[in-house]
Amino acid sequence: MAKKDHDTADTRLARLILALRSQGVSDSGVLNAIETTPREAFTPDLFKARAFEDSALPIACGQTISQPFIVGLMTQALKVDKRDRVLEIGTGSGYQTTILSKLSRLVYTVERYRTLMREAEARFKTLGLTNVITRFGDGGEGWPEQAPFDRIMVTAAASDEPKALLSQLKPKGILVAPIGRGPVQSLRRYTGDGKGGFEIEALTDVRFVPLLDGVAKEL
Ligand code: SAH
């Protein structure tokens, strides 16, 4: 352990990328986006030393920044193209948003905590991201004014099939979301068949905070 404490940030990042590869994140675009996104900029001071660990970490408002492997897996599963307009539900720290912004044309992201939204906006500014549009609101309702989207990613667990969000997807679009009520949910990919139906795949088990109704009353 002592040795690890003296590793440079580059070494820790390289080790993290290797760990993601060994778990099946193979898309070079996704790996490159993760490699060029400073995760420590998205974690609270208390946890910065652990930013390169492959684990979820606490952020403000009782929420979490996702585990890098899950971010890699979900981003890869979404098959994002440079021309895509992407809707993300659950901005949180903005880490996943930043990865998506590097792989797509435009990211619309919705968060129900004002504090998290403001902190994430400040990070996007510092990082010089120009293709992220934020909204404080209930992401369960999607973003009807900007629909339809090529891709939708939900980073909080929906209790059931997210019908409102699926209705805002292009006919051949892809939505990735954790689905389930319990502490462990099923990560599902919905791929539009072009005729109003979806192919549904269960990718793996995941643990996400729940997708809650309405905006948070507290800050
Ligand atoms: N993608 C984030 C992880 C976010 S954790 C990251 O990389 O840091 C899930 C986030 O979803 C939390 O910030 C939570 O407040 C938010 N959330 C939960 N329900 C929501 C809803 N209905 N609308 C918008 N955001 C929601």
Query: Alpha helix (H) ranges present in the chain?
Result: 2-5, 9-22, 28-35, 68-78, 95-103, 114-126, 163-166
Rounded to 5 degrees, what angle do the CA atoms 99, 101, 105 make?
Answer: 145
pLDDT of the residue at 2: 46
Query: How far apart are the C-alpha atoms of 100 and 88, rounded to whole Å?
Result: 9
Residues of the chain with pLDDT under 50: 1-2
The predicted model scores a pTM of: 0.96
Residue 171 Cα to ligand 1 midpoint, Å, equals 25
Nearest atom (ligand 1) to Cα of 59:
8
What is the pLDDT at residue 218?
81
Q: Does the Cβ of 212 fall within 6 Å of ligand 1?
A: yes
**Residue 109 CB–ligand 1 contact under 6 Å:** no
Domains, in order of start, for the chain = 2-206 (3.40.50.150)
- Which active-site residues does the annotation give? 66
**Structural contact between residues 113 and 216, judged by C-beta atoms closer than 8 angstroms:** yes
**Rounded CA gap, 159 and 209, in Å?**
11
